[in-house]
């Protein structure tokens, strides 16, 4: 009925006393801002994780020496395990019936040179055939590494677009030799750009055949074997087969823990959910406390307002306002008050998330659900903490209210 009037009164009050309004709404602002900021981060991370990590590794799992290490003790134990070797990879390729692909992988970092230009600490991938699927990379120019390259331990490589650009600029890199560490490798392909993941470039690498890698860079040292199952349903079967084969090759008795690690995208997902879940709990705690304090302050201000305006309430009642008109007027006022705090919080929290997203590798996305949640929370605070003062106002006796000095 007189919604516009009530909103106008509330906003007029906010404007008339900016410092008091700011202090009044600080709790609500902080509560909403922290929720918006964290939800924005988690939303951004979620989008990232689903887009990048999961798509790339669909139905893929890895067998390696370590698995997912969460503590120093676990590392010490895992470090004493036997290395995963090319023979293990061959055995898995031969034995895992539900695998469509088994790829041996090795990682290193080397300086890369071409005609006096140097790129330091470039990711060096040793890869068996089929790596394009597991690494989710496509060729822009030239060709992929072949099984023949691998078997012959040829000094050939495929490079990422960032390496191509930095070392070759306008020049076509295909057919040129680059120096990786202290070995020459002929470039046979350049991959398509993939962009960044968690702030790390995915285009700054040199991939060589895994057997070349073993020969030139790492005669000893453990491999990772990437295995892709035939389809989603056979993923657990393929894992079980891989486990059986590895246990047999390690001569493990039943009951002994695996002397190797099996990691799936699920493993990362669980870790990820554990981290973000913890973040959520902390945020909800902070937000709940801020909103509680903010709500009490709003309630206090509204009680003051009801007392200050007792006479106004009496006048309105004399002129025909029903109790519920007075109730809704004060509820609209407290809600307008807290909602304006909520909107400031949304802007602040969203701004913070976007700022951090812009200057750090952490991704952030201001999502509609987060904004709606902020609006809903601040509205809730206004209605909940505004109801007691509003009920007090509505219950006033018109005669006494009119007489109030």
Partner 1 sequence: MLISIRELHRVYQVGDQEVRALDGVDMDIEQNEYVAIMGPSGSGKSTLMNILGCLDTPTKGSYRLKDLEIASMSDDELARIRNQEIGFVFQTFNLLPRADALHNVELPLVYAGMHHEERRARAREALSIVGLGDRMKHRPNELSGGQRQRVAIARALVNRPSIILADEPTGNLDSRTGEEIMLAFENIWRQGNTVILVTHEQDIAEHARRVVRMKDGRVEADHPNPHPRAVAGAPVPGA
- Kindly tell me which residue out of 323, 348, 375, 379 binds partner 1, with binding defined by CB under 8 A: 323
Residue 402 binds partner 1, judged by CB under 8 A: yes
Which residue lies nearer to partner 1 by CB, 19 or 319? 319
Q: Which is nearer to partner 1, 150 or 333 (CB)?
A: 333
- Report the C-alpha gap between 368 and 350 in whole angstroms: 11
Rounded to the nearest 10 degrees, how much is the dihedral formed by the CA atoms of 352, 357, 363, 364?
30
Q: Tell me which stretch binds partner 1 (CB under 8 A): 68-76, 100-108, 136-144, 310-318.
A: 310-318
Q: Which of 19, 70, 319, 359 forms a contact with partner 1 (CB under 8 A)?
A: 319
Beta carbon nearer to partner 1, 152 or 307: 307
- The count of chain residues that interact with partner 1, using the rule CB under 8 A, is 22
Distance in angstroms (rounded) separating the CA atoms of residues 306 and 314: 11
Q: Which one of residues 20, 109, 192, 322 is an interface residue with partner 1 (CB under 8 A)?
A: 322
Segment interacting with partner 1, rule: CB under 8 A, options 2-10, 132-140, 338-346, 365-373? 2-10
Q: Which of 314, 341, 345, 350 binds partner 1 (CB under 8 A)?
A: 314
| The token pair that represents 6 in the structure block | 């009530």
Which positions ≥6 away from 89 have C-beta within 8 Å?
102, 103, 104, 128, 223, 225
Residues 7-36 contacting partner 1, CB under 8 A: 9, 12
Beta-bridge mates of residue 191: 139
**Under the criterion CB under 8 A, does residue 404 sit at the interface with partner 1?**
no
Tell whether residue 399 is a contact of partner 1 (CB under 8 A): yes
- Residue 115 or 395: the one with the smaller Cβ distance to partner 1 is 395
CA quadruple 122, 125, 130, 134: dihedral, nearest 10: -70
Q: Sign of the C-alpha dihedral, residues 68, 71, 77, 80?
A: positive
Q: Provide, rounded to whole angstroms, the least separation between the CB of residue 397 and partner 1.
A: 9
Contact 67, 260 (CB under 8 A): yes
Among 159, 321, 346, 373, binds partner 1 (CB under 8 A): 321
Q: 3 or 296: whose CB is closer to partner 1?
A: 3
Residue 357 within binding range of partner 1, rule CB under 8 A: no
| 317 binds partner 1, rule: CB under 8 A | yes
Interacting stretch for partner 1, rule CB under 8 A, among 26-34, 45-53, 294-302, 314-322? Answer: 314-322
Q: How far apart are CA 112 and CA 167, in angstroms?
A: 9
Name the site residues for partner 1 (rule: CB under 8 A): 1-2, 5, 9, 12, 311-312, 314-325, 398-399, 402
């Amino acid at each position: 009925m007189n919604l516009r009037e009530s909103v106008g009164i509330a906003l007029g009050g906010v404007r008339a006393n900016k410092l008091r309004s700011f202090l009044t709404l600080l709790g609500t602002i902080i509560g909403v801002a922290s929720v918006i900021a964290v939800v924005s981060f988690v939303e951004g991370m979620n989008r990232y994780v689903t887009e990048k990590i999961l798509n790339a590794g669909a139905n893929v799992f890895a067998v390696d020496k370590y698995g997912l290490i969460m503590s120093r003790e676990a590392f010490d134990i895992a470090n004493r395990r036997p290395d995963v070797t090319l023979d293990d990879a061959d055995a898995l390729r031969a034995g895992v019936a539900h695998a469509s692909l088994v790829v041996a992988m090795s990682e290193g970092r080397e300086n890369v040179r071409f005609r006096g230009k140097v790129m330091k600490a470039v990711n060096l991938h040793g890869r068996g055939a089929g790596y394009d699927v597991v690494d989710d990379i496509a060729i822009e120019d030239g060709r992929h590494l072949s099984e023949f390259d691998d078997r012959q331990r040829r000094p050939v490589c495929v490079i990422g677009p960032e390496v191509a650009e930095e070392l070759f600029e306008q020049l076509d890199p295909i057919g040129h030799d680059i120096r990786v560490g202290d070995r020459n490798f002929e470039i046979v392909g350049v991959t398509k750009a993939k962009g960044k993941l968690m702030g790390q470039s995915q285009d700054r690498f040199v991939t060589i055949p895994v057997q070349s890698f073993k020969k030139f860079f790492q005669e000893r040292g453990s491999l990772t074997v990437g295995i892709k199952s035939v389809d989603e349903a056979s993923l657990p079967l393929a894992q079980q087969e891989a486990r059986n084969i590895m246990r047999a090759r390690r001569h493990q008795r039943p009951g002994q823990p695996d002397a190797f690690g099996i990691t799936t995208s699920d493993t990362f997902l669980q870790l990820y959910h554990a981290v973000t879940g913890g973040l959520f709990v902390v945020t909800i705690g902070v937000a709940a406390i801020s909103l509680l304090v903010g709500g009490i302050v709003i309630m206090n201000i509204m009680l003051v307002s009801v007392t200050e305006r007792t006479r106004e309430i009496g006048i309105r009642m004399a002129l025909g306002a029903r109790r519920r008109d007075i109730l809704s007027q004060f509820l609209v006022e407290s809600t307008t008050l807290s909602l304006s705090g909520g909107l400031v919080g949304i802007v602040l929290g969203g701004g913070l998330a976007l700022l951090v997203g812009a200057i750090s590798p952490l991704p952030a996305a201001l999502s509609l659900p987060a904004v709606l949640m902020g609006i809903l929370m601040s509205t809730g605070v206004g209605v909940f903490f505004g109801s007691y003062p509003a009920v007090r106002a509505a219950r006033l006796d018109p005669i006494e209210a009119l007489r109030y000095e």
